[in-house]
Amino acid sequence: MRDQDQRDKHTRYWDATAWVSPSADGLAEAKAEEAIAEAAQVLAGGGTVAFPTETVYGLGGDARSTEAVENIFKAKGRPSDNPLIVHIAEESQLAELVTEVNDTARRLMAEFWPGPLTLVLPVRPGAVSPRVTAGLSTVGVRMPDHAVALRLIAAAGCPVAAPSANRSGRPSPTLASHVGEDLDGAIDGIVDGGPTGVGLESTVVECGADGMVTVLRPGGITVEELARVAASVQLDPALESGGGGEAPARPKAPGMKYTHYAPSGSLRIVMGASQEAVAARIQAELDAANARGEVTGILAFEEHLAKYHGAHTMLSLGSLAAPETAAQRLYAALRQFDEAGATYMLAEACPEEGLGAAVMNRLLKAAGHEVIYV
Ligand code: AMP
Ligand code: MG
């Protein structure tokens, strides 16, 4: 993929952090507003612009323009059978995009929009470039809960197709500087809105008319939250494979089959019922890796960090009691391992309650499902 990495564009950089900073003064806000307006013009003109959302940074383009959408795929080096999520700023934009919104979908929208929930709905023929839907009869739509994103999309005046703003396969960006690392010179601009909130992508769901909600990708809205609103919630069978299984060849959400978020070195997850056994195994694997001359890394919860000795890089996922901290830190940690040149990394598993389920889903993909059970 790297050989296709073209970086011949001048990437503009806009500072919109004041737009989301409670302490910014009027002048700083006015400058941020102008910055967003300039970025919106670039989007409206068919350009590619990375922008902050509450999940991760997205790489946006006019969803109606095949040229803009192709430039997104090109910049990311993304396989073209992986559809893009379309971002809107107002519910009134939905009617242009889809032919039908059933009661279940309406209830979820009322509860979770703006927010990290993507609804897969029947696409209105011709509403978006066929490259957005990758030939499916559905389109994934969401309204992000981020003041900069909402302002930008509204000002651009078009539905904005936006995957995560990373090179395909790399961890998603949670800072504007991560976007720059991956895409500087390959896209038209980056809007800096500071660190993202959730730190993981949106939850992607399909809604049956019977009230059944199927989770195609776990994310920022948890299964527990969905279950409070929907009659019933199930995980797509492709997600149930857990640590050991292979993703099926034709999953409903095509992104499911790709390795994602992976650091350059080898990452192993160690899990088991006994924390003592897990810690002992991690230390033993770490010692063996150091003896082989690997550059080692440990990714562990705050409560356990002191148990490990001798890693070149030790990173904390925060407290076991706060999976939202693990979500915020995961992708930046994977990038830090790359910066440190880590060749062999060991990670603790994350308890799968609440946001922990999405953290574990991403960690498994980052590790290519390489799990050591103890
Ligand atoms: P990303 O753009 O990197 O956030 O990934 C988007 C995810 O949403 C991928 O896993 C896609 O497969 C999924 N997705 C987008 N549109 C659809 C759709 N129409 N049907 C099913 N999954 C979708
Ligand atoms: Mg992505």
Domains belonging to the chain, first-starting first, are: 4-192 (3.90.870.10), 266-373 (3.40.50.11030)
Residues pairing with 85 in the sheet: 140
pLDDT score at 255: 61
CA of 366 to the centre of ligand 2 (A): 12
pLDDT in tens, 307-347: 999 999 999 999 999 999 999 999 999 999 999 999 999 99
pLDDT score at 73: 96
Q: Give the separation between CA 4 and CA 290, rounded to whole angstroms.
A: 35
pLDDT score at 254: 59
pLDDT in tens, 132-170: 999 999 999 999 999 999 999 999 999 999 999 999 989
SS3 252: coil
Residues with CB under 6 A from ligand 1: 82-85, 120, 133, 136, 138-140, 163-164, 201, 204, 216-217, 252-255
Among 85, 123, 331, name the best residue to mutate to test ligand 1's pocket (greatest count of ligand atoms within 8 A of Cβ).
Answer: 85
Q: Which atom of ligand 1 is nearest to the CA of 134?
A: 19
SS3 18: helix
Q: What are phi and psi of 270, to 5 degrees?
A: -110, 125
State mean pLDDT over 178-193.
97
Q: Which atom of ligand 1 is nearest to the CA of 118?
A: 8
State mean pLDDT over 171-181.
97
Among protein residues, the one whose CA lies closest to atom 5 of ligand 1: 163
Q: Give the separation between CA 116 and CA 83, rounded to whole angstroms.
A: 17
Report the run of H or E that residue 61 belongs to, with start and end.
strand 58-62
Among protein residues, the one whose CA lies closest to atom 22 of ligand 1: 253
CA of 237 to the centre of ligand 2 (A): 21
pLDDT score at 159: 98
pLDDT score at 1: 42
Among 48, 69, 72, 82, name the best residue to mutate to test ligand 1's pocket (greatest count of ligand atoms within 8 A of Cβ).
Answer: 82
Weakest mean pLDDT among 28-42, 74-88, 235-249, 353-367: 235-249
pLDDT score at 248: 45
pLDDT score at 259: 66
Q: What is the mean pLDDT of the chain?
A: 93
Q: pLDDT tier at 26 (50, 70, 90 boundaries)?
A: very high
Weakest mean pLDDT among 106-115, 224-233, 252-261, 346-355: 252-261
Q: pLDDT tier at 199 (50, 70, 90 boundaries)?
A: very high
pLDDT score at 245: 41
Q: Which of 118, 151, 214 is nearest to 16 (CA)?
A: 151
Do 323 and 354 form a contact (C-beta atoms < 8 A)?
yes
Q: What percent of the chain has pLDDT over 70?
A: 93
> The whole model's pTM is what?
0.94
Report the run of H or E that residue 181 belongs to, with start and end.
helix 176-183
Report whether pLDDT(247) > 60. no
Query: 338-342 contacts: CB < 8 A, separation 24 or more?
Result: 338/263, 338/264, 338/265, 340/295, 340/297, 340/312, 340/313, 341/295, 342/263, 342/264, 342/265, 342/295, 342/296, 342/297, 342/312, 342/313
Q: Give the separation between CA 266 and CA 342, rounded to whole angstroms.
A: 8
Q: Which of 257, 266, 259, 260 is nearest to 286 (CA)?
A: 266
Do 220 and 55 form a contact (C-beta atoms < 8 A)?
yes
pLDDT score at 142: 98
Among protein residues, the one whose CA lies closest to atom 9 of ligand 1: 255
CA of 310 to the centre of ligand 2 (A): 33
Q: pLDDT tier at 246 (50, 70, 90 boundaries)?
A: very low
Q: Give the separation between CA 96 and CA 123, rounded to whole angstroms.
A: 9
Q: Please count the other Cβ atoms lying within 10 Å of the Cβ belonging to residue 25.
A: 9
